[in-house]
Amino acid sequence: MEWATTTLALYGMGGAALATSLMTLRRRLELSHAKHASLAGHARTARRLAALVPFYEYDEAQFFNSDGAPADVAARRRAGFERLSALYATRFAETIRCSTEAAASISDLQFTDAYRVPFQYSRYARARLPSAAFVQSSNGVTVTDLDGNRFYDLTGSYGVNVLGYDFYKEAIERGAARVRALGPVLGPYHPLIAENVAMLKEVSGLDEVSFHMSGTEAVMQAVRLARYHTRRTHLVRFCGAYHGWWGDVQPGIGNPLPAHETYTLRDLSEDSLRVLRTRRDVACVLVNPLQALHLNAAAPGDSALLDSARRAHFDKEAYGNWLKRLRAVCTEQNIVLVFDEVFVGFRLARGGAQEYFGVRADLVTYGKTLGGGLPIGVVCGRHHLMKRFRGDRPADICFARGTFNSHPYVMAAMNEFLRHLHTPQAEGLYRDLDRTWNERAQRLNQRLRAEALPVAVANMSSIWTVCYEQPSRYNWMFQYYMRAEGLALSWVGTGRLIFSLNYTDADFDAVEDRFVAAAKAMEQDGWWWGNPALTNRSIKRAILKEMIAHRLFPERGGNGH
Ligand SMILES: Cc1ncc(COP(=O)(O)O)c(C=O)c1O
């Protein structure tokens, strides 16, 4: 009898263990279905593969014909390159001299210099078209370098510049005057903080606010709060989305450690919703609405522009519907929905992405432009999620401090920004915003098509990316032609153009003319030489072969034959 009971118990336990294993296996499979097929969707694999990529570079001849272009085309490219190089050396002489000198001691500059174009071309390009990283002033929609050259600014200062540089200059000055009597006193607040809080609650539609020093920190705090209140471990981010450089939100290339408590799921996917419905360890879902422009892809940068596979297309309705479904699942599963509006907040609409897409989040992070030109990160959220301690367990706290949080000068510049949002002028600015920028993008595309240039832009309101329509290895050269035409880009090159909203039609016409002129010059110099045998896939395959050969036979310069 006793034996029978024991056997039964063992069977029972075995059955339960099997059921648990099957369940775990099912969850694993669900998770793996919810990953995007690309490397960006597989952070761990991407990191492992990245460690295997060998350095190699093209010699001078290959630099001009790495796509197998005939000698006459390579010669045209070389002549164009030398013309540009001579122009850089004379027109940007002082700016380049300062940049080169500074780069030796500024690690950030060394990094951005090296990753401006694909590494195979980088050293040769850098030597002859050195980066010019200094500017002396800004005015209207332009910036001026150390040689006195004025450029139309398409960098948008990483997205900070929404209202135009002159606005921020004034906001900082007016703000500084209002807090001058207090100076840099930290800890106690300047009274104008109360007005900031009231305005932030109004624009976000949320109950409480916390101030931080950068967008990265705001995201860290939002995730920490979500973990604290849900008592769950994992955050979900969508494939390719940037949320700052904190380890947990950057699980792939760029972070020396794996992020164990992060799931990277596919955007706009039923499988991802299934994971959210079935996992019990998800504390929050982070959404960077900018992904709507290039779903499941990392922020486009020219250093990865080895072919013409870059694609972008914004469908507001489809993305809005997705956010609504995500909202419903998060509500159903008590998962905290975090909108990371550090980039898009106040750029798409006065009430940010929540207003623009008609979806409410539980926590919202803001940054960039909200500081009125000074560094900032803000979390807005519901009461119960913002609380950092528990009434019934005094030692169980969610700690978050920061020496410079709520700095009077930052709060004052922010105050100027938020007050401006409440003016009729700002209301007018947001009216018809999308129409204005969509029409501008369309016009430019029509012109590029009419001129038979293999370039097109895609946009999400005032945030644009340049796409290339014909397979080519040399699209990254376009950034240099744009600079020569007086268009300033950030170090990611043509991957991201950010316009401030004070661009007038006349300003934009000038940008359009220069953009087309740059594309024509690039075309004439042969960089877009059309080889029917060349496809994006064949380019990728050739590069993979080069990498494997250099990995296996480094001593033979990658020549495995
Ligand atoms: C969506 C998003 N989140 C967070 C950050 C990080 O902000 P910061 O650079 O101020 O740390 C950025 C910066 O680009 C961002 O675009």
pLDDT tens digits for range 113-167? 999 999 999 999 999 999 999 999 999 999 999 999 999 999 999 999 999 999 9
DSSP 8-state assignment for residue 467: E
Measured CA to CA, the distance from residue 544 to residue 561 in angstroms comes to 16
Measured CA to CA, the distance from residue 259 to residue 251 in angstroms comes to 5
Name the 3-class secondary structure at 497: strand
User: Rounded to the nearest whole angstrom, what is the distance from the C-alpha of residue 551 to the centroid of ligand 1?
Assistant: 35
Among the atoms of ligand 1, which is closest to the Cα of residue 343?
16
Q: What is the pLDDT of residues 260-269, one digit of tens each?
A: 999 999 999 9
The mean predicted confidence, pLDDT, of the chain is 95
Q: Is 221 in the pocket of ligand 1 (CB under 6 A)?
A: no
Among the atoms of ligand 1, which is closest to the Cα of residue 217?
11
Q: Is 219 in the pocket of ligand 1 (CB under 6 A)?
A: yes
Q: Is 323 in the pocket of ligand 1 (CB under 6 A)?
A: no
pLDDT, mean of residues 485-496: 97
- Using a 10 angstrom Cβ sphere, with 0-12 exposed, 13-18 middle and 19 or more buried, the burial of residue 435 is exposed
- Residue minimizing CA distance to atom 8 of ligand 1: 215
Check residues 6 and 348 and name the one with the higher pLDDT: 348
pLDDT tier, 14 (very low <50, low <70, confident <90, very high otherwise): confident
Q: Which of 325, 303, 370, 388 is nearest to 119 (CA)?
A: 303
Length of the chain: 561
- Residue minimizing CA distance to atom 6 of ligand 1: 244
Measured CA to CA, the distance from residue 96 to residue 135 in angstroms comes to 11
Measured CA to CA, the distance from residue 90 to residue 95 in angstroms comes to 10
Beta pairing, strands 487-488 & 150-153:
parallel
Residue 106: C-alpha distances to residues 111, 245, 289 (Å) = 9, 19, 32
Q: Is 366 in the pocket of ligand 1 (CB under 6 A)?
A: no
pLDDT tier, 561 (very low <50, low <70, confident <90, very high otherwise): very low
Are 375 and 222 in contact by the 8 Å Cβ rule? The answer is no
Sign of CA dihedral 448, 453, 458, 463: negative
Are 451 and 218 in contact by the 8 Å Cβ rule? The answer is no
Q: Which of 53, 218, 197 is nearest to 558 (CA)?
A: 53
pLDDT tier, 17 (very low <50, low <70, confident <90, very high otherwise): confident
Neighbours of 108 (CB within 10 A): 10
Strand partners, 228: none
Who's near 414: CB < 8 A, 6+ residues apart? 175, 196, 370, 371, 372, 374, 376
Q: Is 475 in the pocket of ligand 1 (CB under 6 A)?
A: no
Q: Which residue do the tokens 């432009």 mark?
A: 369
> In the prediction, which pLDDT does 15 show?
75
Please give the span between the terminal C-alpha atoms of the chain, in angstroms, as a whole number.
75
- Residue minimizing CA distance to atom 3 of ligand 1: 243
Name the 3-class secondary structure at 458: strand
User: Rounded to the nearest whole angstrom, what is the distance from the C-alpha of residue 443 to the centroid of ligand 1?
Assistant: 31
H or E, element range at 153? strand 150-153
Q: Is 238 in the pocket of ligand 1 (CB under 6 A)?
A: no
Q: Calculate ∠ Cα 350-354-360, nearest 5°.
A: 140
Are 369 and 418 in contact by the 8 Å Cβ rule? The answer is no
Among the atoms of ligand 1, which is closest to the Cα of residue 158?
14
Q: What is the pLDDT of residues 35-46, one digit of tens each?
A: 998 888 998 899
pLDDT, mean of residues 449-477: 98
Q: Is 157 in the pocket of ligand 1 (CB under 6 A)?
A: no
Q: Is 242 in the pocket of ligand 1 (CB under 6 A)?
A: yes
Measured CA to CA, the distance from residue 338 to residue 237 in angstroms comes to 10
Q: Which of 376, 379, 359, 354 is nearest to 200 (CA)?
A: 379
Report percent pLDDT > 90 for the chain.
88
DSSP 8-state assignment for residue 228: H
Measured CA to CA, the distance from residue 539 to residue 541 in angstroms comes to 5
pLDDT tier, 560 (very low <50, low <70, confident <90, very high otherwise): very low
Are 354 and 365 in contact by the 8 Å Cβ rule? The answer is no
> In the prediction, which pLDDT does 270 show?
96
Report the largest interatomic distance among the alpha carbons of the chain, rounded to a whole angstrom: 98
Report percent pLDDT > 70 for the chain.
98
Are 116 and 305 in contact by the 8 Å Cβ rule? The answer is no
Q: Is 343 in the pocket of ligand 1 (CB under 6 A)?
A: yes
Q: What is the pLDDT of residues 335-382, one digit of tens each?
A: 999 999 999 999 999 999 999 999 999 999 999 999 999 999 999 999
Q: What is the pLDDT of residues 378-413, one digit of tens each?
A: 999 999 999 999 999 999 999 999 999 999 999 999
User: Rounded to the nearest whole angstrom, what is the distance from the C-alpha of residue 341 to the centroid of ligand 1?
Assistant: 9
Strand partners, 265: 238
Q: Which residue do the tokens 């969508």 mark?
A: 238
Strand partners, 390: 393
Measured CA to CA, the distance from residue 541 to residue 543 in angstroms comes to 5
